A and B are shown apart, each in its own frame.
Chain A
Amino acid sequence: MRPERIPDTTFDGAPAPCGEDGVLRLVIPANERAVRRGLMCIKLGLKNLNLDADDWSTLELVVAEIFNNIVEHAYKKPSTGLIETQMNYSKGQLQCEIVDTGCPMPNGTLPQGMQKSLDCDIADLPEGGFGWLLIRQLTSHLNYDRAAGHNILTFQLSLNGDT
């Protein structure tokens, strides 16, 4: 297999579409607006997979939550780093890897993302902490590694209504 070149420009064009080898790579700066555009790039790049609306909404939500977490927590200041994404598709499974060079996860592990009790007064309802709850519910094989200053998050999504 021919090694792929990681693009050095982010938004000068759409990413190479997910071709016959089923690979998509995307590098974006870690800020909220770039996250929006990055999600659009992924949608374009995966066009060949003909995802249905439900699969796309799951993928968009999971990737958005992971990107936002990196922007808000791994990199303390906006635009201080990059987020690299690679997706491989094979037989109904989308294997995803998202890498950043920000701070490691607290305690070196992923947050539990527990369902918080909503059986409370309106004033006590949680306004945050939903991100990992969503990620954990929608993905499988979720794994986090810290290696050589990189946070490496991998997960898998079943597509075409297989979930």
Chain B
Amino acid sequence: MKLNHKDFNGARLVTVCEDRIDAVCAIQFKDEMRKLTDEGPNRVVLDMSQVQFLDSSGLGAVVAVLKAKKSEQSLELASLQPAVHKVFRLTRMDTVFSIHDDATAAIESVANAS
């Protein structure tokens, strides 16, 4: 599970460099994301543009990261591919997360806002 991160003013952009978040790697994703949010600034944007497949274990891991963040922190998602967005939509988790169409635009708006 490879996660790259880059810090901007008041925001951390985390890019998932894998094409799947599934039962094989969901726990690893959750653990590594928790580290990145624990040490991170108040806004964390997760760029999922490379993720082509997410199953219910992957969804559970993303929710677990949301639940583990500090109360003053936000976890936002960006660039969900159609197959991934479908999982969020069918489970209505798209109503829980803040979802941006584009990771770059999201981080720019975050950087400008802070």
Contacts and interface: CB of A to CB of B under 8 A. Distances in A.
A35 B26 CA distance: 14
User: What bracket does the count of chain A residues touching chain B fall in?
Assistant: 20 to 34
A36 B61 CA distance: 18
Contacts of A61: 53, 55, 83, 86-87
Given A53-B82, A122-B66, A123-B67, A130 B91 contact: yes
Interface in A113-142: 115, 118, 122-123, 125-128, 130-131, 133-134, 137-138
B92 A68 contact: no
Contacts of A138: 90
A36 B86 contact: no
Contacts of B1: none
Nearest to A57: B83
A97 interface: no
Interface string B86-97: 110011110110
Residue of B63, B64, B86, B91 with most chain A CB atoms under a 10 A cut-off:
B91
A122 B20 CA distance: 25
B24 A36 contact: yes
B90 A133 contact: yes
Interface in B42-93: 53, 55-57, 59-61, 63-64, 66-67, 82-83, 86-87, 90-93
B3 interface: no
A60 interface: yes
B82 A65 contact: no
Contacts of B64: 127
Nearest to A129: B56
A26 interface: no
B23 interface: yes
A68 B56 CA distance: 9
A57 B83 CA distance: 6
Given A68-B55, A123-B67, A130-B59, 5 more contacts: A35-B24, A36-B22, A61-B53, A64-B23, A131-B56
